[in-house]
Amino acid sequence: MKMVYICSPLRGEPEKNIAKANEYAREETMKGNCAIAPHCVFTQFLDDEVPEERSLGQEMGKALLCRCDELLVCGSIISEGMREEIKTAYENGIAVLGRDLSIADIEDAVFGETEQYCEMA
């Protein structure tokens, strides 16, 4: 069973975004993967509006990501937090897949000169 890290936005509309992340995780689980959406879990006991707690959640997410087989980028917007997760995946040789965006678009948004797909949160 592959461990798949769900990479999707949180900020902006947190309740809506968490519901979407849960849908993405369910979709991956139904494919036979072990889906992990840390921002759905960590927000149960950490407050994303408190900078220290947000930072701690991000570091915990990266620790989990490094134990995964794949990172699945979901949605058509790449937030600043997602950018960091994607960079971490590349730095650690973890496969990056796009659900709604192509790999070329993801790489351009994260590493390219344009940030057309990025929403700085």
Is 51 domain-assigned? yes
What pLDDT, on the 0 to 100 scale, is given for residue 112?
84
Is 45 domain-assigned? yes
Q: Of 48, 95, 42, 40, which is closest to residue 73 (Cα–Cα)?
A: 95
User: Per residue in 11-46, pLDDT tens?
Assistant: 889 999 999 999 999 999 999 999 999 999 999 999
Average pLDDT in the 64-82 region?
A: 95
Is 26 domain-assigned? yes
Q: Of 15, 114, 21, which is closest to residue 61 (Cα–Cα)?
A: 21
Q: Is the distance from CB of 24 to CB of 99 less than 8 angstroms?
A: yes
Residue-range definition of the domain harbouring residue 20: 8-102
In the chain, how many domains are there? 1
Is 60 domain-assigned? yes
Is 65 domain-assigned? yes
The pTM assigned to this predicted structure is 0.90
